[in-house]
Amino acid sequence: MQIDPLTSGYPAPDAVLGACPATGVVVSYAPAEGYNPSSHECVTRVKLAGKVAALKGCSFGGEFDGHAAYTGALYYVPSRTIVGCDAAAALGIRSEDDLFGGVVPYAFAATKTITHPLVERRAHAPRGWSHEFPEAVRHAVLEGYAAFTADDAVRAGARLLALGAVRVKPALALGGRGQTIVNGLAELKAAIAQIDPLELARCGVAIEQNLSDVSTFSVGQVRIAELVATYYGIQSLAIDNRGEEVYGGSSLMVARGGFDAVLALDMTVDMRRAVMHAQTYDTAAHACFPGFFASRRNYDIVQGRDAAGALRCGVLEQSWRVGGASGAEVAALERFRADPALHAVRAWCVEVYGDSEPPPEATVYFRGVDEKVDRITKYTMVEPYAYA
């Protein structure tokens, strides 16, 4: 699908203050899903790619077409983290300058299973497993284990059950869906039996202590062209059309620059701890997974009480791809592009299920009936940091 930025409602590249002449083509890339106009994820990603094209001063090619003859180098906005350095290079992706997202050398490295150690060092793990990574982040994450066989998962879960309730987290589950809280060995075995054996062997499962009274923070960094922004914020929950509690959006405080810039902003002690945990995780990923790079890096950090009532805080997982907060990330970069003197903004994104009227000043990414989740509205807003 080719989309003309002059007729699609997206700003043309030269309409953006400071944009350089078009030197390439930005495309949305979803090799597995393709483009589906009734999917809120597809529609959102394509609109986001149009905004990225404007920020880069490039033309916009819509959804990637493998048979098209593009007139410049491609910049991708993928639906998923790209797996395999050779696969990325075949697309022309060799550095973070070539995509809004990330590249990992192995499939499991894009999932939450890298967060925790194996139940024992000699337990089964796929090629490329890093024993060093969970050791490097152990003070920045919760108690937990990674497992790639059902037997190892049961052993790991049984060990954690001594500390209280356990959360079973399949590697490929997104947005908190597909996770199970278990309180005993029978429940643990039943939850693990639900995971596809091929998925378990390839990407694994995370077995982690469960917390109560939780808050979930978002910390991340994005770069498009010369624009770099780092942020902290908090996630909200929503009730979807099936009555389930799911991700409902993020409110972000976004600083121009790196982690030092965001740490210079006012924040609570709890939030500062979350930012530093995310920075530890980010640094370890670059050190422990050769071939990894990403222009979009987001980390979910949870804070809550364990079974003994102690306060715990740790990184849950990473996202090196377009995510729920990406609309807010790009909106902040647009403000930084428009005003070179601006150092920080508040940006937030909202996902509302059922009928909803977005504020008139909002940028709406999707409003309609999604084929999987039914009616949903997604929008973003930005305001000066001083108003936050």
Would you say residue 3 lies in a domain? no
Using the predicted structure, report yes or no on whether residue 36 has a pLDDT greater than 90: no
Task: Please check whether residues 59 and 173 belong to one and the same domain.
Answer: no
- The amino acid that residue 120 corresponds to is E
Task: Please check whether residues 126 and 272 belong to one and the same domain.
Answer: no
Would you say residue 82 lies in a domain? yes
Nearest to 210 by CA among 238, 243, 168: 168
Residue 194: C-alpha distances to residues 126, 167, 179, 180, 244 (Å): 20, 14, 11, 10, 19
pLDDT tens digit string along 100-144?
999 999 999 999 999 999 999 999 999 999 999 999 999 999 999
Determine the distance from the C-alpha atom of residue 169 to the mean position of all C-alpha atoms in its chain, rounded to a whole number: 16
Is 366:84 a contact under the CB 8 Å cutoff? Answer: no
Nearest to 325 by CA among 378, 260, 388, 267: 378
- Answer with the one of 149, 177, 210 that is the final residue of a domain: 210
Task: Please check whether residues 258 and 202 belong to one and the same domain.
Answer: no
Residue 378, strand partner residues: 351, 366
Distance CA 58, CA 366 (A): 24
pLDDT at 14: 32
Is 296:51 a contact under the CB 8 Å cutoff? Answer: no
Nearest to 230 by CA among 151, 308, 333, 161: 333
Task: Please check whether residues 190 and 53 belong to one and the same domain.
Answer: no
pLDDT at 257: 97
Residue 18: C-alpha distances to residues 145, 312, 345 (Å): 47, 44, 19
Give buried/exposed letters for 246-281 (b at 16+ CB in 10 A, else e): bbbbbbbbbbbeebebbeebebeeebebbbbbbbbb
Q: How many domains is the chain built from?
A: 3
Sheet holding 180-182, edge to edge: 144-147, 205-209, 166-170, 180-182
Q: What is the CATH number of the domain that holds 191?
A: 3.30.1490.20
Domain that holds residue 44: 13-106
DSSP 84-95: -HHHHHHTT--S
Q: Looking at residues 178-201, what average pLDDT do you find?
A: 94
Q: Which two tokens stand for residue 207?
A: 């077995």
Task: Please check whether residues 230 and 117 belong to one and the same domain.
Answer: no
Q: How many alpha carbons fall within 13 Å on the CB side of residue 28?
A: 24
- The amino acid that residue 332 corresponds to is A
Q: Looking at residues 197-205, what average pLDDT do you find?
A: 94
Of the listed ranges 102-106, 221-225, 245-249, 362-366, the one predicted with least confidence: 245-249
- Answer with the one of 88, 106, 124 that is the final residue of a domain: 106
Kindly report the pTM of this predicted structure: 0.89
Using pLDDT thresholds of 50, 70 and 90, give the confidence band for residue 3: very low
Would you say residue 121 lies in a domain? yes
pLDDT tens digit string along 301-358?
999 999 999 999 999 999 999 999 999 999 999 999 999 999 999 999 999 999 999 9
